[in-house]
Amino acid sequence: MNLVIKSDYESLSLAAAQAIMELSKQKKEVNICLPTGTTPKGMYKALVDLHQAGQADFSFINWFTLDEYLGIPLSSPFSCYQQITELFYEPTGISKDRIFTFNSEAKDLDAEAARYNAIIEHMGGLDLAIVGIGMNGHVGFNEPGSSANAPTRVIDLHERTLVQSKKYFTDDHPIPTKGITLGMKTLLQSKEVFVVANGEEKADIVKVAIHGPVSDDVPVSHFQTHAGATFLLDTLAASKLK
Catalytic-labelled residue, pool 31, 62, 67, 127: 67
Whole-angstrom CA distances from 202 to 80, 132, 212 are 21, 10, 15
Task: Using alpha carbons, select from 8, 108, 115, 25 the residue that is nearest to residue 64.
Answer: 115
Residue 143 bears catalytic tag: yes
- The DSSP bridge partners found for residue 63 are 32, 99
62 has catalytic annotation: no
104 touches 134 (CB < 8 A)? no
68, 112, 127, 143: the catalytic one is: 143
| Rounded Cα gap, residues 176 and 155, in angstroms | 11
Q: Is 222 part of the annotated catalytic residue set?
A: no
159 given a catalytic annotation:
no
Ordered alpha helix ranges (H), the chain:
9-24, 41-52, 80-84, 90-92, 109-122, 159-165, 184-188, 203-211
Catalytic-labelled residue, pool 136, 192, 198, 222: 136
Task: Give the active site residue among 62, 127, 138, 192.
Answer: 138
Residues catalogued as catalytic = 67, 136, 138, 143
